[in-house]
Amino acid sequence: MSAFDLQKKLVSGDLKVTEAANLFLSQHEQVDSKVNAFVELEKEKVLKQAQALDELSAEQRQSKKLFGVPVAIKDNICVEGTETNCASKILKGFTAPYDATVISKLKEAGAILYGRTNMDEFAMGSSTETSSIKKTANPWDLERIPGGSSGGAAASVASGQVPLSIGSDTGGSIRQPAALCGVVGFKPTYGRVSRYGLIAFASSLDQIGPFARDVKDAALLLDVLAGADPKDSTCSEEAVPNYLEAIDKDLSGLTAGIPEEYFIEGIDPEVEAKVKEAIAQLEKQGVKIEKVSLPHTKYAVSTYYIVATAEASSNLARYDGVRYGIRSAEAKNLNDLYFQTRTQGFGDEVKRRIMLGTYVLSAGYYDAYYLKALKVRTLMKQDFDNAFKKVDFIVTPTSPTPAFKMGEKVDNPLSMYLSDIFTISANLAGLPGVSIPCGLTQENLPVGLQLIGKPFGEETLLQVGHQFQQATDHHKQSPLL
């Protein structure tokens, strides 16, 4: 059942919130020992929230857009009174002292906060293998990765443990795992959703967004998450349209841009074939197809890994063993305290990115690397601006390959970084993007179709995605766990 239909059933009283919660908890007990999507899920907390919702009057229920619907939370989003670790040893034992804005909005909308999902440490990774807590498996093939960094959030929805979840996307961390797990993952425009209470990786790139089984459910959740927030100075005051109203318009009159730079050597042939079939389907539905060029795309990976690591170096400097998280017991003085705490607390990938970021910000290298990367970022944004003068949205693959085997790329950072080659441009340009299931490979692995929109063009992406799903059944396929 979709989250949309479930909410209607719960509001009407046809199904009690406690009954629905118990059904999801039962699914969790059956499958999560194989998938490992969650780092924490307390049955008592879930049922306590459900019981409180069951006691609300009919009038109170009507006003709550997510009444009784369970939503899983990525482990880098603060929930007051709950441990929040970013899947890192350095934050072990840290309890969030306040709610993130998105959490306050979920509570207000009547959602059930349904446990914390696993992730790559500090959202740095494309496979959820850098988590210090556990490795999450792809529900379609338990020997493969679910994508990252929001691998647990994607896998929790794909395995039927929750109808909705929220993650964060810095370079593809919502869209890439959504593609590999066969669900919908939406990265909103930078500033569309408040980042207050999201533990920062790269502040000019991070954005919170929804995971769902279908686009209508993603629209329902985005409707709750989006909007201005005085607590986040980067959050836009742009008015939020009614996303659920937008999705029912047909596609005639829309133009899709196909960038030649995204169909490159090295893309998996089956991925390319499925994406091209999806483009043909959109054409059948009245979308005009036009080729566009995004010439600076070839610099996306190198630009991203300068900008993102520089911001990570700055943001992660706060983890010093003094204020929160673990503190080394072996330190002899203050410098030693910093050194020992960070050595013991951070994993290899986080250390690698801190060192890269510190290097590109250091005297003598700042202009050569960081400043140049910012200039290239501006050129990439201009590429998109030029393309959007001719087209309404852009269509690309989400990931160059289906899900790969666990351990396959863990010792080759560059190969791992290239997993995000099609998603990071949208973050650098601050644009909205969504990944939608568009078929299965011969090995029964999901393939994702990415739609990239104009700034604050979420409506168009949801409209296109929903209409595509009305004509296809790829999103109805489920893994046989």
User: For residue range 398-454, what is the model confidence (pLDDT) as tens digits?
Assistant: 999 999 999 999 888 888 888 899 999 999 999 999 999 999 999 999 999 999 999
What local confidence, expressed as pLDDT, does residue 289 receive? 98
Give me 10's structure tokens: 């719960």
Distance, in Å, from the CA atom of 220 to the CA atom of 333, rounded to the nearest integer, reads 52
What local confidence, expressed as pLDDT, does residue 138 receive? 98
Classify residue 278 by burial, with Cβ atoms within 10 Å: 0-12, 13-18, 19+. buried
Average pLDDT score over residue span 96-106: 98
User: Is 328 part of the annotated catalytic residue set?
Assistant: no
CB 86, CB 312: distance < 8 Å: no
Distance, in Å, from the CA atom of 144 to the CA atom of 223, rounded to the nearest integer, reads 33
All residues at 6 or more sequence positions from 17 whose CB lies less than 8 Å from its CB, including other chains: 10, 50, 51, 53, 54, 67, 68, 112
Q: Map out the domains of the chain as residue ranges.
A: 3-257+389-404+432-476
Average pLDDT score over residue span 144-166: 98
pLDDT at 324 over 90: no
Distance, in Å, from the CA atom of 199 to the CA atom of 324, rounded to the nearest integer, reads 13
CATH classification number, 3-257+389-404+432-476, choose in 3.90.1300.10, 3.40.50.880, 3.40.50.720, 3.10.180.10: 3.90.1300.10
CB 248, CB 466: distance < 8 Å: yes
Classify residue 270 by burial, with Cβ atoms within 10 Å: 0-12, 13-18, 19+. middle
User: What pLDDT digit, counting tens, does each position of 275-306 carry?
Assistant: 999 999 999 999 999 999 999 999 999 999 99
- What pTM was estimated for this model as a whole? 0.97
Amino acid identity for residue 94 in this structure: F
User: Percent of the chain beyond pLDDT 70?
Assistant: 100
User: Percent of the chain beyond pLDDT 90?
Assistant: 95
Whether omega for the bond prior to residue 194 falls within 30 degrees of 0, making it cis, is no
How many CA atoms lie within 13 Å of 274's alpha carbon, on the beta-carbon side? 28
What local confidence, expressed as pLDDT, does residue 415 receive? 85
Please report, in angstroms and rounded to a whole number, the separation of the first and last CA atoms in the chain.
18
Average pLDDT score over residue span 372-394: 98
pLDDT at 311 over 90: yes
Which member of 64, 65, 74, 216 is catalytic? 74
Q: Which residues are 72's β-sheet partners? A: 165
Helices 3-12 and 17-35: angle between axes, nearest 10 degrees? 150
Which member of 131, 156, 165, 173 is catalytic? 173
User: Is 156 part of the annotated catalytic residue set?
Assistant: no
What local confidence, expressed as pLDDT, does residue 347 receive? 97
User: Is 74 part of the annotated catalytic residue set?
Assistant: yes
Q: Which residues are 437's β-sheet partners? A: 448
CB 253, CB 223: distance < 8 Å: no
Query: Helices marked H in 316-454 — which ranges?
Result: 334-345, 348-361, 372-387, 413-417, 424-429
Average pLDDT score over residue span 15-20: 98
Classify residue 331 by burial, with Cβ atoms within 10 Å: 0-12, 13-18, 19+. middle
User: What pLDDT digit, counting tens, does each position of 351-364 carry?
Assistant: 999 999 999 999 88
pLDDT, mean over the chain: 96
Distance, in Å, from the CA atom of 110 to the CA atom of 10, rounded to the nearest integer, reads 11
What local confidence, expressed as pLDDT, does residue 413 receive? 84
Average pLDDT score over residue span 209-232: 98
Which member of 149, 165, 168, 399 is catalytic? 149
pLDDT at 41 over 90: yes
What local confidence, expressed as pLDDT, does residue 246 receive? 87
pLDDT at 25 over 90: yes
